[in-house]
């Protein structure tokens, strides 16, 4: 294996009202940015000046007004391909990630949309492959049912294969008429060739996220970047090692696939200010009515994890219903709680700098706030946030992070201005882009064609 210096990779997840459900309610946060393309351009330019690898445009294919409490950014937003092309016109280096769901698209359409984006962006296009978790999306696409996981991945595997083969056969200087595909597979029959010229990157950069076996296989085989969601170092290390091992089975080197967990940094010049922002954001979130035991709902479009003592009791393994949510937690709870419960208490202490026994005490509400948030969160001053990032990076829990700005544009600017310079000073993060394309930022060369690679694997 090469001894090239490992460098951190950073992406920016863009949600127009912030990735925190109440991010838009902070006084300086934009609440009306979802359809303001100039604002999206501004945020992307801030990320580009900070030398982020990419801006990430997520997507969903259905909506529900109930999302307004749990996730207003995902209720409605600009479609990602059109958004990406506009961001490409307003920037020159940063990679642009578009989420597109094969379940509800055609391979030829995705191949040409991504190909076109790679042309207008001069080699900065990237496709985040999702297969869709929202069962109600089926009702928007003349389907009677949401396909089960196996069928979605069968379809996606062939879909990705066809897209990459269309890119390989696209018209080029050497073959101006393109190379026909004549694919006749289980799901698709596609003649080709693609009507978009060969891509500047040959293949757009591929992102994928997921924890199921099928999704890990798809990612290990096809993806250049894996977007992960583990909340702590041990679970992230296990995921990281698993993906790299699977990738090795496909003949891929460790440095050919970057694993980037999501991370919400709440950063301010001082620890106290950062904790105050964290507390203020969570104070906006209402609590849900209590439920009888066993009725706790989790996840899903428009639902979200319940924020109440009932859900907290399940996590703790201790029935704490009936307490005043604002009351401080008795120290004895730590001994009674399940392992997951103790992790929740420890995590709460890490974020809030409060404890079960000190002068500043943890409340039930603090625990509810910790449990309700998604993925990894770090609250602190710039050095503390950089320490967190470095620890994950050095311990091979991550090759970098997809940064979740809790509120916009403030959280983007704070990370870019306060944390990125620390990471650069420590030699972890680039001072300037390695080259003009997204593949350059990731240290990836141009890909070989599918046919060549398949032959190599068979050998």
Partner 1 sequence: MSSTSVSLPRAGGPLLAYLHRGAEPSIETAFAGSLLTSLALEVERAGFDLLVLDDEPRVEGAAPRVRLDPFTAASFIATRTRHLGLAVTADAAYYEPFNLARLTASLDHITHGRAALNLVHDPARAAAVNFGVRDRAAPADPGRHAREFLHVVRALWDSWEDDAFLRDKASGRFVDGAKIHAIAHRGEHFQVQGPLNVARPPQGQLPLVHVERSPASRPWAAAEADVVVVAAGDEGGVREAGQALRALAVREGRAANSPRVLAPIVPWVADTPDEARRLRARVAARPDAVAAIGTPDEIAATLQAWVARGLADGFAVLPAPEAGQWPRFAEQVVPALARCGPIGPAAAGFAPTLRGRLGLARPANRHASLAQPVNG
Subset of residues 173 to 232 that bind partner 1, contact rule: CB under 8 A: 173, 176-178, 186-198, 200
Binding mask 134-173 for partner 1 (x = CB under 8 A): --x--xxxxxx--------------------------xxx
Name beta bridge partners: 328. Answer: 363
Tokens of 19: 């990735």
Residue in 15, 108, 240, 401 binding partner 1, rule: CB under 8 A: 108
Tokens of 194: 């693609």
Residue 378 has phi, psi (to 5 degrees) of -130, 135
Counting Cα atoms < 13 Å in the Cβ hemisphere of 128 gives 26
Among positions 69-98, residues that touch partner 1 (CB under 8 A) are: 69, 72, 75-79, 81-86, 88-90
Choose the stretch contacting partner 1; rule: CB under 8 A; options: 7-15, 66-74, 233-241, 430-438. 66-74
Tell me if 133 contacts partner 1 by CB under 8 A. no
Choose the stretch contacting partner 1; rule: CB under 8 A; options: 5-13, 67-75, 234-242, 270-278. 67-75
Choose the stretch contacting partner 1; rule: CB under 8 A; options: 29-37, 221-229, 230-238, 344-352. 29-37
Pairwise CA distance, residues 6 & 392, whole Å: 13
Tell me if 283 contacts partner 1 by CB under 8 A. no
Choose the stretch contacting partner 1; rule: CB under 8 A; options: 16-24, 145-153, 337-345, 434-442. 16-24
Q: Whose Cβ is closer to partner 1: residue 80's or residue 231's?
A: 80
Instruction: Spell out where 258-414 has E strands.
Output: 258-267, 376-380, 400-403
Name beta bridge partners: 13. Answer: 56
Choose the stretch contacting partner 1; rule: CB under 8 A; options: 118-126, 267-275, 291-299, 315-323. 118-126
Among positions 45-64, residues that touch partner 1 (CB under 8 A) are: 60-63
Nearest in space to 258 (alpha carbons), one of 433, 447, 427, 442: 442
Pairwise CA distance, residues 403 & 55, whole Å: 9
Q: How many CB atoms lie within 10 A of CB 397?
A: 23
Distance set, CA 327 to CA 275, 330, 331, 365, 372 (Å)? 19, 9, 12, 8, 18
Residue in 7, 25, 51, 439 binding partner 1, rule: CB under 8 A: 25
CB of 365 to partner 1, least distance (A): 17
CB of 224 to partner 1, least distance (A): 21
The count of residues interacting with partner 1 (CB under 8 A) is 77
Tokens of 136: 């109600």
Counting Cα atoms < 13 Å in the Cβ hemisphere of 94 gives 30
Q: Whose Cβ is closer to partner 1: residue 67's or residue 376's?
A: 67
| N-terminal to C-terminal alpha carbon distance within the chain | 21
Q: How many CB atoms lie within 10 A of CB 79?
A: 11
Q: Whose Cβ is closer to partner 1: residue 28's or residue 339's?
A: 28
Choose the stretch contacting partner 1; rule: CB under 8 A; options: 19-27, 224-232, 405-413, 414-422. 19-27
Residue in 2, 4, 65, 357 binding partner 1, rule: CB under 8 A: 65
CB of 204 to partner 1, least distance (A): 12
Pairwise CA distance, residues 135 & 133, whole Å: 6
Q: Do 129 and 156 form a contact (C-beta atoms < 8 A)?
A: yes
């Amino acid at each position: 294996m090469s001894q090239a210096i490992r460098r951190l990779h950073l992406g920016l997840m863009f949600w127009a009202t912030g990735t925190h459900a109440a991010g838009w309610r902070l006084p300086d946060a934009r609440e009306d940015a979802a359809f303001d393309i100039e604002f999206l351009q501004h945020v992307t330019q801030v990320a580009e000046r900070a030398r982020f690898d990419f801006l990430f445009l997520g997507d969903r294919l259905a909506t529900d007004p109930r999302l307004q409490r749990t996730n207003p950014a995902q209720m409605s937003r600009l479609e990602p391909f059109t958004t990406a092309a506009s961001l490409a016109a307003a920037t020159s280096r940063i990679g642009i990630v578009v989420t597109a769901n094969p379940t509800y698209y055609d391979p030829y359409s995705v191949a040409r949309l991504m190909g076109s984006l790679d042309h207008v962006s001069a080699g900065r296009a990237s496709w985040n492959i999702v297969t869709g978790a929202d069962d109600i999306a089926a009702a928007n696409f003349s389907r009677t049912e949401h396909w089960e996981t196996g069928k979605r991945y069968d379809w996606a595997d062939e879909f990705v294969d066809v897209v990459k083969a269309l890119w390989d056969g696209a018209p080029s200087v050497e073959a101006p008429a393109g190379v026909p595909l004549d694919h006749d597979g289980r799901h698709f029959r596609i003649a080709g060739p693609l009507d978009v010229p060969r891509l500047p990157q040959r293949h757009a950069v591929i992102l994928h996220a997921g924890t199921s076996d099928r999704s890990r296989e798809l990612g290990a085989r096809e993806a250049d970047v894996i977007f992960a969601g583990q909340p702590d170092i041990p679970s992230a290390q296990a995921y990281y090692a698993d993906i790299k091992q699977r990738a090795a089975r496909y003949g891929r080197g460790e440095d050919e696939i970057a694993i980037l967990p999501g991370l919400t940094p709440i950063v301010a010049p001082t620890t106290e200010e950062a904790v105050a922002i964290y507390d203020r954001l969570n104070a906006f979130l209402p609590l849900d009515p209590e439920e009888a035991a066993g009725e706790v709902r989790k996840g899903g479009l428009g639902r979200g994890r319940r924020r109440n003592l009932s859900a907290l009791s399940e996590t703790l393994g201790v029935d704490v219903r009936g307490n005043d949510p604002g009351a401080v937690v008795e120290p004895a709870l730590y001994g009674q709680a399940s392992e997951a419960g103790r992790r929740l208490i420890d995590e709460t202490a890490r974020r809030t700098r409060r404890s079960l026994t000190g002068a500043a005490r943890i409340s039930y509400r603090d625990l509810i706030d910790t449990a309700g948030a998604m993925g990894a969160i770090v609250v602190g001053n710039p050095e503390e946030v950089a320490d967190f990032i470095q620890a994950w990076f050095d311990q091979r829990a991550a090759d970098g992070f997809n940064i979740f700005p809790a509120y916009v544009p403030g959280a983007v600017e704070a990370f870019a201005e306060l944390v990125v310079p620390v990471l650069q000073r420590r030699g972890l993060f680039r001072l300037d882009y390695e080259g003009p394309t997204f593949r350059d930022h990731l240290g990836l060369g141009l890909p070989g064609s599918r046919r060549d690679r398949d032959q190599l694997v068979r050998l």
